[in-house]
Structure 1
């Protein structure tokens, strides 16, 4: 089957509707979808994040023969609400959430001890909360409050074994991304949840600014050794 991959930016309310439908159907409203992930990310970050506090990029596959009945303008398809049930019947697989972007973290929640580049990123117009990068890497970034909760859950012995630690993200599983704040600039290190100390970590970037540049470009991937 000849499939076309489409991308669509949505806000929290529409994403909840898609999730409630088992990730197999769009709500019956006019639907716009683009051939460009970058274009969808721009809409998510510039339209939905300011308006709704979060914006999401989704992707789905549709047979080309279905789309051929609709004109495409600047890489975008517009499906009338009355045709959306037919579109849903043609979906080849599930709708997938690829990226989650969030509104700025308030200044009073940003620890001055954190690197300026990290604080600036979280305080910027939108930041990547979690998602799949172009490298195939799944990345999860943590606001300060959530990072503090993770450190508390990690336990005092593990925290004590990593003096100067600040957690900023992870892979959604057993690996954390952490900063060693004893170093200036602090490197971004991968720390496994059973790590016995800094000597067992793996460097992911020499500093936060270079790490974030790769995240925004979609080129970051975990280095395992």
Structure 2
């Protein structure tokens, strides 16, 4: 069994529904205006996006957690897009199917944020 890396991804309700439809095993294809799939390297960063951006934009935000084969991820650079802990992988949309093939286990929802009534 190969080693894995834990990644997180904040999602809104629409992407969560697509994950559920894929039985929590695959990320949905990117839309034309989404050329990059960006999983993040720490839960705190994912929480900030889900609780701030997704809740404001969609009324709810969720943090997902999943494992990806480390040897596959070694082919991608980590991008620092803000402070020291604001780290992402940038997976080109055309690579997403191969990325999905390297997920080990299920994609799990680990945090949920909903707009106050």
Q: Deviations over 1:45-76 (max 9, x none)?
A: 11100010000000110011111111101221
SS at match of 1:92: strand
Q: Which has the larger radius of gyration?
A: 1
- In the alignment, the residues of structure 2 paired with residue 73 and residue 25 of structure 1 have an alpha-carbon distance, to the nearest angstrom, of 23
Q: Deviations over 1:146-171 (max 9, x none)?
A: xxxxxxxxxxxxxxxxxxxxxxxxxx
- In the alignment, the residues of structure 1 paired with residue 116 and residue 23 of structure 2 have an alpha-carbon distance, to the nearest angstrom, of 30
**Corresponding residue number in structure 1 for 2:83:** none
2:51 maps to 1:50: no
- Correspondence 1:118-197 to 2 at 5 A: none
Structure 1 segments of 4+ aligned residues over 3 angstroms from their partners: none
Return 5+ residue gaps in structure 1 as ranges.
106-225
Return 5+ residue gaps in structure 2 as ranges.
31-35, 81-86
- Correspondence 1:196-211 to 2 at 5 A: none
- Correspondence 1:16-55 to 2 at 5 A: 16-29=17-30, 30-55=36-61
Larger fraction in strand: 2
- In the alignment, the residues of structure 2 paired with residue 83 and residue 28 of structure 1 have an alpha-carbon distance, to the nearest angstrom, of 10
RMSD of aligned residue pairs (Cα, Å)? 0.8
Equivalenced residue count is 105
What is the TM-score with the length of structure 1 in the denominator? 0.46
